[in-house]
């Protein structure tokens, strides 16, 4: 039977408990740990405040300052770094249950994870050295923001906001309890810092529920597929264009007529950034949203992006059917040659659309089949598939 190491009794630093997440007592400090000499490699966010990026040394000073404040209310420290490790019966490193999810992996002993353990160990060592000045309990929680695809750079401010969202909106199936860390009953979990003489136990792990993001040309099926995915997953569907209309107080056609496309894209950028700070949503983005480099970076790091594709003729027939049923004509297609305009825009956007994590051709598929394919791809291990 796997055993769990208890935390030290002579330190104010303790593993947090799942019930602490729901009670939300005391202060909460959300930290995205990074290790770099020159870069602002860390993110930090306290309670309902605004996030900031700092160098590692600045992060250490910030955390120690919060821990040593003259108060007895607890400090809940959520760290985006491995705080526990597991070994098999032969004492070989083995993945924790939270290191493998939906076909993806981020093992604690591979890639950048060991350097994060070292960085976090230095941070916690400084806290230990300051324990004579700490009058509050410091509770540790591990945050696991995402399995980032290769080439997608971390967004430290967004990551700490996602950690906060996970605590403010806890989802039981996205909280891994300490006794759930071993993947096998013979695996042994322990503090990631036990090797350095610091045993802080094995805190629970919080996952912000990932976003599923749909992009693609108009009439590619994003809204319909989004509704099916929402029904299948229980995640709310959020349409970026709908939020833009609500914020502007007028229709998209009226925004284009009154203030032109530039005003619409400005609102779109604002809405996309806000949506990507949250978790656990099906996000349907407008046809041109993924083309703008800033939006594309936000969306690629804000969830798993599916581009729904269709041939120009298919899109034209779908739009014509919408028009025949009384729906408004799309502003970018108002003109004498809509099919030619569709071809032109698809050519312009092809490179951007191709950068989605996954692309699905929808011409010969029903919306239900597209949604099923998206869910299957989510559990695959091969991003950038076609």
Q: How far apart are CA 148 and CA 151, in angstroms?
A: 8
| pLDDT tens digits along 271-304 | 999 998 888 899 999 889 999 999 999 899 888 9
Q: How far apart are CA 56 and CA 43, in angstroms?
A: 9
Has residue 203 got a pLDDT over 80? yes
Among residues 77, 32, 43, which one has the least CA distance to residue 167? 77
Q: How far apart are CA 128 and CA 64, in angstroms?
A: 9
pLDDT for the residue numbered 210: 82
Among residues 88, 54, 74, which one has the least CA distance to residue 14? 74
Q: Residue 110 contacts by C-beta under 8 Å, 6 or more apart in sequence? A: none
Most confidently predicted of 5-9, 157-161, 298-302, 345-349: 345-349
Q: How far apart are CA 329 and CA 384, in angstroms?
A: 33
Q: How confident is the model at residue 386 (pLDDT cuts 50, 70, 90)?
A: very low
pLDDT for the residue numbered 257: 82
Q: Lowest mean pLDDT: which of 14-18, 137-141, 311-315, 326-330?
A: 326-330
Question: Is 113 in a helix, a strand, or coil?
Answer: helix
| pLDDT tens digits along 151-187 | 556 789 888 998 998 899 888 888 999 999 999 999 9
Give the residue, 195 or 152, on which the prediction is more confident: 195
What's the token pair of residue 64?
């120690």
Has residue 49 got a pLDDT over 60? yes
CB 160, CB 48: distance < 8 Å: no
Has residue 5 got a pLDDT over 60? no
CB-count exposure of residue 40 (10 Å: 0-12, 13-18, 19+): middle
Considering the chain, what is the average pLDDT of its residues? 88
> Is the C-alpha dihedral spanning 315, 317, 318, 319 positive or negative?
positive
Q: How much is the average pLDDT of 326-335?
A: 59
Has residue 329 got a pLDDT over 60? no
Structural domains for the chain: 13-206 (no CATH), 212-378 (3.40.50.300)
> Is the C-alpha dihedral spanning 96, 233, 322, 295 positive or negative?
negative
Q: How confident is the model at residue 323 (pLDDT cuts 50, 70, 90)?
A: low
């Amino acid at each position: 039977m796997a055993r769990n190491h208890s935390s030290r009794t002579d330190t104010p630093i303790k593993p947090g408990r799942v019930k602490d997440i729901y009670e939300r007592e005391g202060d909460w400090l959300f930290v995205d740990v990074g290790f770099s000499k020159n870069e602002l490699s860390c993110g930090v966010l306290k309670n309902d405040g605004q996030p900031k990026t700092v160098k590692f040394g600045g992060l250490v000073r910030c955390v120690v300052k919060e821990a040593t404040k003259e108060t007895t209310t607890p400090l809940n420290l959520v760290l985006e770094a491995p705080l526990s490790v597991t070994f098999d019966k032969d004492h070989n490193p083995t993945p924790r249950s939270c290191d493998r999810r939906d076909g993806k992996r981020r093992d604690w002993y591979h890639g950048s994870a060991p350097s994060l353990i070292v960085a976090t160990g230095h941070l916690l060592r400084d806290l230990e050295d300051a324990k004579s000045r700490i009058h509050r309990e410091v509770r540790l929680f591990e945050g696991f923001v995402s399995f980032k695809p290769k080439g997608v750079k971390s967004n430290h401010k967004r990551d700490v906001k996602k950690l906060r969202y996970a605590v403010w909106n806890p989802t039981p199936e996205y909280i891994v309890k300490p006794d759930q860390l071993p993947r096998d009953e013979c695996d042994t979990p322990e503090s990631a810092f036990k090797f350095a003489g610091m045993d802080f136990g094995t805190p629970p792990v919080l996952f912000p529920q990932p976003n599923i993001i749909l992009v693609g040309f108009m009439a590619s099926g994003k809204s319909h597929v989004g509704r099916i995915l929402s029904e299948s997953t229980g995640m709310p569907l959020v349409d970026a264009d709908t939020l833009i209309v609500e914020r502007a107080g007028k229709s998209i056609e009226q925004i284009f007529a009154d203030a032109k496309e530039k005003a619409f894209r400005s609102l779109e950028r604002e809405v996309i950034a806000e949506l990507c700070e949250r978790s656990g949503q099906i996000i349907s983005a407008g046809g041109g949203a993924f083309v703008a480099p800033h939006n594309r970076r936000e969306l690629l790091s804000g969830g798993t992006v599916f581009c729904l594709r269709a041939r120009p003729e298919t899109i034209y027939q779908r739009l014509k059917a919408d028009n025949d049923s009384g729906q408004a004509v799309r502003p970018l297609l108002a003109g004498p040659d809509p099919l030619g305009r569709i071809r032109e825009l698809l050519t312009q956007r092809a490179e951007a659309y191709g950068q989605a994590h996954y692309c699905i051709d929808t011409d010969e598929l029903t919306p239900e089949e597209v949604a099923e394919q998206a869910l299957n791809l989510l559990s695959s291990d091969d991003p950038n598939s076609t």
